Amino acid sequence: METRDTARTTDPARDPHVAESATREHVAESATREHAAEPATHEHVADAANPATDAGVAAPATDAGAVPADAPTAAGSAGDARHMARAVELAARGHGATSPNPVVGCVILDAAGRVAGEGFHAYAGGPHAEVVALRQAGERARGGTAYVTLEPCDHTGRTGPCSRALLAAGIARVVVAVPDPTPKAAGGTARLREHGVAVETGLLAEEAERVNAEWLTYARLGRPHVTWKFAATLDGRSAAADGSSQWITSPEARADVHRLRARADAIMAGIGTVLADDPRLTARPEPPRASPEPPRASPEPPRGRPPLRVVVDSEGRTPPTARVLDGEAPTLLALAPEAPAPVPDGSRSDGSRSDGSRSDGSRSDGSRSDGSRSDGSRSDGSWAVGVVRVPRHPGGGLDLGLLLRELARREIVSVFLEGGPALAGSFLRQGLIDRVVAYVAPALLGSGAAALGDAGVTGIAGIHRLVLDDVTRVGPDLRLTARTAGPGLPRKEQ
């Protein structure tokens, strides 16, 4: 087992996304604009004292590891792995803010092998990691090395191509962890090589893939990455015999769930959960704890819409009074083609839907007749409800693979599946669960609903084996994080 939280296994704020090799302890150091000529070193915190600091910039600091962060790095040395691990760590800071873009981290060394700049992609539409790091490095980037967790893009979208930014800065060597799987953005390494830049690929590829698992699944498979979360007792019960389940886990565990919800593009539940618990399915993370560090000098990333609530309701049984229809967040009801719609379908005559997307994947800017805008919000601050029709699956229920592909067309990169047991079993049977996050309470029930329904296993030979990545204590409970396969790896889908 790889434990991602080896340094502080009792800290619930640790991120289960980050690989162990990317975990580093760093000591914050103040920095000013006058320090720009000094060798930059590693830190977790943005440089609030530097007026040139942008979102995605990590300020100079010292590394608490055995090797000084400003020690020169020779090509091909163990220092390569150290700097790429730092880039992976930086990439993780973008979780929950970059969708539908990937999370990316970058470290720039100067020609002498000392750290000159760092950056990460902080939010969709913001500067890419390479650009942020190059801005911090300035002229020191010339003749230096760039470590990037994902192949530099070679196309112009909301920002320019990073491959050309690296060329313009005079970078002599680029080390890439993972190639870009998208035809539109790939080609950065080829362009760099064409212009005489030494390019190496594959360093810490597994760690870089795991930190970017959501986007890589979306890019490779054309569907969102699915994390199934459940809470259970030590004997695997998610509810008592009378159906009550509030609460099995502690307040600390529930707060941790809201933090993970907030990082997802969509929160999904089945109609059974809606009828039994009437959940809000919203992300309500606690405000960040006060920090002794000064605030960022640069503007905070723009706030996006809250996670989309998705209810899988094949027969159209969602009550009109259900809290998932309260307008607190955008909601999508997934119904069978012939099922009655509990609410009017939010689709518009131009083909766009409640979140402003159209069936061809494009987006609409106009206001809707119900007062909602292109992002699904209304002028009164509430959010619209939409309906999507999904064919039935031969094995029962809806075709969840088609539902996920429809969500991908709406630029939903990650889904946080909250069950219940029947829906989780259907996802597992159809080969659509990528990660499992289990909150286990030190308690026993002896009877009641199991956390997982029929998963298509009739004998031990069909057991679903997982790879355990992380075990973290959250209050009195344990959070276990496991994956079903490598991120975005093709698998048989029924």
Catalytic residues: 130
Query: Which helix (H) or strand (E) segment is 425 a member of?
Result: helix 421-429
Confirm if 107 and 133 have CB atoms less than 8 A apart: yes
Please give the torsion angle defined by the CA atoms of residues 68, 74, 77 and 80, in that order, rounded to the nearest 10 degrees: 70
For residue 377, the cross-strand partners are 383
Say which DSSP state 234 is in: T
Confirm if 346 and 333 have CB atoms less than 8 A apart: no
Rg of the chain taking only CA atoms, in angstroms = 23
* Token pair belonging to 298: 């640069």
* Dist. CA 438–CA 230, nearest whole Å: 5
Confirm if 304 and 355 have CB atoms less than 8 A apart: no
* Token pair belonging to 232: 């259970």
Using alpha carbons, list the distances in angstroms from residue 373 to 330, 348, 357, 363, 417. Answer: 11, 11, 11, 11, 26
* Token pair belonging to 190: 């080829």
**Which residues, at least 6 apart from 66, have a Cβ–Cβ distance to it below 8 Å?**
none
* Dist. CA 221–CA 440, nearest whole Å: 31
